[in-house]
């Protein structure tokens, strides 16, 4: 079964996909994403792989006959793809070269541009789950792309607040955030010509980094080749710093926030950025997203950002030393 069920309390849709319960854990001695598996080409750099257990599809089945005038259902239109970062089973994002990550960004851009062509798609989200703490069952380096038939609630809320800020102040909220963070300096982790990485003032995760474009652009398709290479560099450096923080593979959920597709023009007030939701608060301690966060969407950060940002910045310096680069 795959369908959408409407939540009238939140004005949002829940995706129901019982087929995903059968997703496999990593088979011992075998990876479908590795060359030689018969599932992927024997030679590739980065690759689009069709999701074997999609929650959204171009030709979804009819919903179960359980809808009423109060409880609405809808077909689960959309698209789900897996993006393989590398043929090397053990290489994660910060271990790839900047040029290789550049190829990954080009592929993300290509898939975003293709998915936005469908009038049934309203939002295209590029994301990565990394580490067992985030529920990863296939450790081969990969991310995913979902094309939703609606704009999910959290993104609608963000878009609405950006629009409100623009109407009140005549400025982009993210451009203003960039200025605030650069002026304060202590929460900034990495900066290059076109992007800035910082743990924002308000994050609900101790190491909840944002990577934000310095130029006011809304999607990957807006960036020049130079800007995309700059994004590749800051992705490598930011995730590399994370791995150095506790000297272990750092788990995270990484989500790319871009403009909606086939909807309202948000060019004046919205801004491309990437958000990280890392569950670790210490090397062996999880920051649980518990009852208050889930029940009230009332975030609680167990550590002040002004304490955690210097630790991550120091880890970034050690990452540069490991790479043989100067800070």
Active site residues: 142
Nearest to 313 by CA among 202, 199, 231: 199
**Cα angle: 263, vertex 268, 270; to 5 degrees:** 70
Handedness of CA 27, 29, 34, 37 (dihedral sign): negative
Instruction: Please give the DSSP secondary-structure letter assigned to residue 77.
Output: B
For residue 79, give both structure tokens: 């698209």
Distance CA 267, CA 271 (A): 8
Would you call 136 exposed, middle or buried from its count of C-beta atoms within 10 A (0-12, 13-18, 19+)? Answer: middle
Dist. CA 317–CA 326, nearest whole Å: 8
Token pair 């689009």 is found at: 48
Query: Is 63:74 a contact under the CB 8 Å cutoff?
Result: yes
Record the tokens describing residue 223, joined without a space.
Answer: 């960036």
The 10 Å CB-count burial string (b at 16+, else e) for 247-262 is: eeebbbbbbbbbbbbe
């Amino acid at each position: 079964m795959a369908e959408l069920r409407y939540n009238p309390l939140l004005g949002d849709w829940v995706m129901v996909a019982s087929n995903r319960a059968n997703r496999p854990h990593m088979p011992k001695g075998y990876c479908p994403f590795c060359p030689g598996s018969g599932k992927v080409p024997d030679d590739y750099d980065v690759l689009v792989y069709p999701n074997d257990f999609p929650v959204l599809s171009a030709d979804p089945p009819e919903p179960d006959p359980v809808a009423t005038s109060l409880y609405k259902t809808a077909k689960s239109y959309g698209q789900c793809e897996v993006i393989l970062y590398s043929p090397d089973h053990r290489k994660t994002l910060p271990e790839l070269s900047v040029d290789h990550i550049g190829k990954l960004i080009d592929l993300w851009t290509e898939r975003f541009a293709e998915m936005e062509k469908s009038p049934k798609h309203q939002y295209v989200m590029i994301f990565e789950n990394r580490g067992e703490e985030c529920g990863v069952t296939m450790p081969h380096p990969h991310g995913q792309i979902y094309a939703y038939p609606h704009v999910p609630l959290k993104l609608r809320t963000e878009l609405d607040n950006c629009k409100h800020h623009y109407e009140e102040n005549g400025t982009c909220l993210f451009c203003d955030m960039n200025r605030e963070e650069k002026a304060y300096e202590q929460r900034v982790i990495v900066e290059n010509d076109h992007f800035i990485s910082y743990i924002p003032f308000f994050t609900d995760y101790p190491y909840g980094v944002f990577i934000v474009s310095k130029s006011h652009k809304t999607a990957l398709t807006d960036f020049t080749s130079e800007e995309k290479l700059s994004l590749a560099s800051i992705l490598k450096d930011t995730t590399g710093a994370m791995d150095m923080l506790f000297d272990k593979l750092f788990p995270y959920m990484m989500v790319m926030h871009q403009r909606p597709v086939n909807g309202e023009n948000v060019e004046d007030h919205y801004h491309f950025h990437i958000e990280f939701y890392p569950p670790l608060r210490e090397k062996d301690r999880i920051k649980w997203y518990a009852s208050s966060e889930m029940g009230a969407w009332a975030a609680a950060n167990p550590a002040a950002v002004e304490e955690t940002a210097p630790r991550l910045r120091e880890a970034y310096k050690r990452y540069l030393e490991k790479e043989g680069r100067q800070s």
